[in-house]
């Protein structure tokens, strides 16, 4: 080999990131361990973004991801992946630990902040939002009129968020230990909290929701995380500190809550997603190691495991299941596409 070519190759090897070098070997560069019958592909590489919840635009063109970052002009709170071109875009910065992420019945995107005084931020017509928008959190000023704090949704740690099937209500959970469950009537913008007797009690001042919840002796929980609406209209909720997946049935003025799933292997349920194609409930566990589970209503099957990263933001889209690998110790954060081996691929 000529000396110049050898030196060039040697220089490239020295400057390439370790995870890139490992990708060319037979090793697993992502560190994600898959169960038999499943495979993985990297979709996006993120540096210092803490990718969390995911939401697919109604058009199917954009995959939006909230980022658990702190305000900084160079660190986004919301990113998007073009599902056709795979291009990554930074959309919005300035929020504090962006977490909850769901499309509302009117097509707007709701994004919550996971801090004690967190707010829901509403973005209208998100698919047309120009790149690199800003929120000045202290003044609440935004760079685009389509971005605004949705104060009527209450002030608390917004992680759990879901909507009723009929589009009348938004359900939200305060992720603080001992936090409560809230319901927002979308038409009248009336906020209420669920008390210990399972009755909905009106909140008169959304900015003081926590204090009013205490005065109503609201039901408290062991750190509620994600929420998801099932096909039958019930709302499933991940209670992280108890290792339970709960289910809420709304009866109008009252509600009932039952334990849907408690499996000793699932220690800290975090993110939830209903898979309408496979009829499965996907559950991420942010324990150590972090795991991804698929529950069919009878038993939970572990699909993926990571010993040095947190699996977040599970979202099934068609044949694929998307997740994030957050806080990887051996490389940048990743968005991953998981998929099953088909018969023709396995040769069976």
337, with CB counted inside 10 A (0-12, 13-18, 19+), is middle
Using one digit for the tens of pLDDT, what is the confidence trace for 250-283?
Answer: 999 999 999 999 999 999 999 999 999 999 999 9
Q: What is the DSSP string of 275-340?
A: ETTTTEEEEEE-SSSEEEEEE-SS-EEEEEEESSSEEEEEEEETTEEEEEEES-SSS-EEEEEEEE
User: Phi, psi (5° rounding) for residue 292?
Assistant: -120, 125
Average pLDDT score, the chain: 91
| Among 271, 227, 273, 220, residue whose Cα is nearest residue 246 | 227
- Cα separation, 161 vs 158, whole angstroms: 7
Across the range 63-85, mean pLDDT stands at 93
Q: Say which residues have a Cβ less than 8 Å from residue 10's Cβ, sequence separation at least 6.
A: none
C-alpha to C-alpha distances, 126 to 166, 170, 345, nearest whole angstrom? 22, 19, 38
Q: What is the pTM of this model?
A: 0.90
CATH top class, domain 35-346? mainly beta
Domain boundaries, the chain: 1-30, 35-346
Across the range 83-93, mean pLDDT stands at 95
**Do the beta carbons of residue 304 and residue 34 sit within 8 Å?**
yes
* b/e per residue 235-245 (b: at least 16 CB within 10 A): bbbbbbebbbb
- Cα separation, 284 vs 293, whole angstroms: 6
Using one digit for the tens of pLDDT, what is the confidence trace for 114-154?
Answer: 999 999 999 999 999 999 999 999 999 999 999 999 999 99
What pLDDT does 73 receive? 65
Continuous segment of H or E residues that includes residue 12: helix 3-15
Q: Say which residues have a Cβ less than 8 Å from residue 215's Cβ, sequence separation at least 6.
A: none
Question: Strand 133-136 vs strand 141-142: parallel, antiparallel, or unpaired?
Answer: antiparallel
Classify 20 as helix, strand or coil. Answer: helix
- Cα separation, 38 vs 117, whole angstroms: 40
- Cα separation, 114 vs 160, whole angstroms: 10
Band of residue 27 on the pLDDT scale cut at 50, 70, 90: low
């Amino acid at each position: 080999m000529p000396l110049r070519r050898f030196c060039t190759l040697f220089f490239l090897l020295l400057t390439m990131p370790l995870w890139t070098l490992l990708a060319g070997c037979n090793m697993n560069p992502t560190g994600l361990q898959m169960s038999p019958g499943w495979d993985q592909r990297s979709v996006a590489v993120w540096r210092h973004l803490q990718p969390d919840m995911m939401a697919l635009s109604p058009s199917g063109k954009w995959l939006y991801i909230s980022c658990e970052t702190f305000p900084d002009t160079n660190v986004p709170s919301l990113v998007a992946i073009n599902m056709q071109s795979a291009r990554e875009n930074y959309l919005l910065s300035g929020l504090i630990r962006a977490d909850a992420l769901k499309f509302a019945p009117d097509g707007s995107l709701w994004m919550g902040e996971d801090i004690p005084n967190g707010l829901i931020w509403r973005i209208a017509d998100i698919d047309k939002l120009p790149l690199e928008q800003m929120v000045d959190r202290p003044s609440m000023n935004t760079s685009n009129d389509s971005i605004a704090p949705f104060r009527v949704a209450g002030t608390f740690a917004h992680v759990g968020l879901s909507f009723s099937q009929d589009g009348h209500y938004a359900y939200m959970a305060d992720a603080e230990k001992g936090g409560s469950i809230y319901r927002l009537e979308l038409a009248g913008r009336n906020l209420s909290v669920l008390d210990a007797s399972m009755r909905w009690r009106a909140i008169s001042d959304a900015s003081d929701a926590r204090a009013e919840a205490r005065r109503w002796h609201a039901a408290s929980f062991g750190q509620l995380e994600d929420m998801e609406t099932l096909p039958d209209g019930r709302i499933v909720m991940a209670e992280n500190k108890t290792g339970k997946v709960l289910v809420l049935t709304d009866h109008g003025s009252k509600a009932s809550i039952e334990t849907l799933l408690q499996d000793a292997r699932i220690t800290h349920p975090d993110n939830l997603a209903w898979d309408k194609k496979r009829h499965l409930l996907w559950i991420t566990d942010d324990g150590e190691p972090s795991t991804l589970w698929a529950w069919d209503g009878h038993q939970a099957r572990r699909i993926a495991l990571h010993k040095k990263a947190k699996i977040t933001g599970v979202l099934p889209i068609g044949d694929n299941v998307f997740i994030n690998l957050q806080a990887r110790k051996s490389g940048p954060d990743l968005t991953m596409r998981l998929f099953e081996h088909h018969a023709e691929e396995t040769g069976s």
